DNA sequence: ACATGGATTCGATATTTGTCGAATCCGAAG
DNA sequence: CTTCGGATTCGACAAATATCGAATCCATGT
């Protein structure tokens, strides 16, 4: 098994127990913890932009060396934000040579989108 | 114009300038602020459960008096969390007699869901 | 007018978080 | 082996946040 080049806590995505829209069923307290962690990770303007740059990157991945200069922040701060996204299960990191590349984890993104789904306004 | 019974900051929803999936286009820095505020509001287990109880309430609304006893927290803390959801534009509050009722604002929920939309895995 | 009950606001406090600089780690190239 | 550049981790600190109790507000009923 390929050991992750960047230390990442386990966080089994399949363990996230919730998948119905919050507008349909009340989210269970236990699921709320994991899911809120993901929303919290997106709840910062810098991280939301990072997530967007990663998710929209051509080829599905982007180098940290391309992320860092996009902001007027120290590279340590960017690294910290990337760690938050990683620990929330929203992105994956892989080191190749001297560079680290990030990719989005679409499973969790889809899950969050499903949670926020709203029924279309009833047909007239 | 009906004055809001509960003090709410303006927060023009139509001013939120972003609506394409973050996996398609990079979210503009200016939009990131407003959108991150909404995600941050959902980024707390209590608030996520509150939001879910409100959005899934039969009739589309629920009394604070039904929200508060669902948690082992003081009513002032619940009130604080509801304010955060209000200021993020996720819910609306209306006072009727002695009670205050909350409803979800589906427009913003839909917008967030759109942001998180991911393309289906390409057909084989 | 006064008392009552539901909800919010105010003030205080412990915890979390965003940011940075210094130190460290990890591959690659001399 | 040593050095170099990219990235993360460590340690520190200011700012934001979650929580509570007390005080206030607001509508109702006596």
Q: CB of B24 under 7 A from strand D?
A: no
Q: Write down the pLDDT at residue A15.
A: 53
The pTM for the full model equals: 0.89
Listed in sequence order, the residues at least 6 apart from B29 whose beta carbon sits closer than 8 Å to its beta carbon are: A45, A49
Closest-lying nucleotide for B77 based on CA to C1': D19
B30/A contact by beta carbon, under 8 A: no
Do residues A21 and B113 touch, judged by C-beta distance below 8 A? no
Residue A118, chain B, CB below 8 Å: the answer is: yes
* Residue ranges of E strands in B8-112: 61-63, 91-96, 99-104
Dump pLDDT digits (tens) for A40-73. Answer: 999 999 999 999 999 999 999 999 999 999 999 9
Note the strand C nucleotides within 7 A of protein beta carbons: 5-11, 17-23, 26-28
pLDDT tens digits, B22-61: 999 999 999 999 999 999 999 999 999 999 999 999 999 9
pLDDT tens across A73-97, in order?
Answer: 999 999 999 999 999 999 999 999 9
A26 CB near a chain B CB, below 8 Å? yes
Model pLDDT, residue B7? 40
Terminal CA-to-CA distance of chain A, rounded, Å? 55
Instruction: Dump pLDDT digits (tens) for B81-115.
Output: 999 999 999 999 999 999 999 999 999 999 999 99
């Amino acid at each position: 098994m390929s050991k992750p080049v960047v230390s990442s806590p386990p966080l089994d995505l399949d363990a996230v127990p919730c998948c119905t829209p919050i507008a349909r069923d009340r989210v269970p307290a236990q699921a709320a913890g994991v899911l809120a962690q993901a929303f919290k990770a997106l709840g910062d303007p810098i991280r939301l932009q990072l997530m967007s740059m990663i998710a929209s990157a051509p080829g599905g991945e982007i180098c940290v060396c391309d992320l860092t200069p996009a902001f007027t922040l120290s590279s340590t701060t960017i690294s910290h934000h990337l760690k938050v996204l990683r620990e929330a299960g929203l992105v994956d990191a892989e080191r190749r040579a001297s560079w680290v590349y990030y990719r989005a984890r679409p499973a969790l993104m889809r899950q969050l989108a499903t949670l926020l789904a709203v029924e279309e306004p009833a047909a007239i």
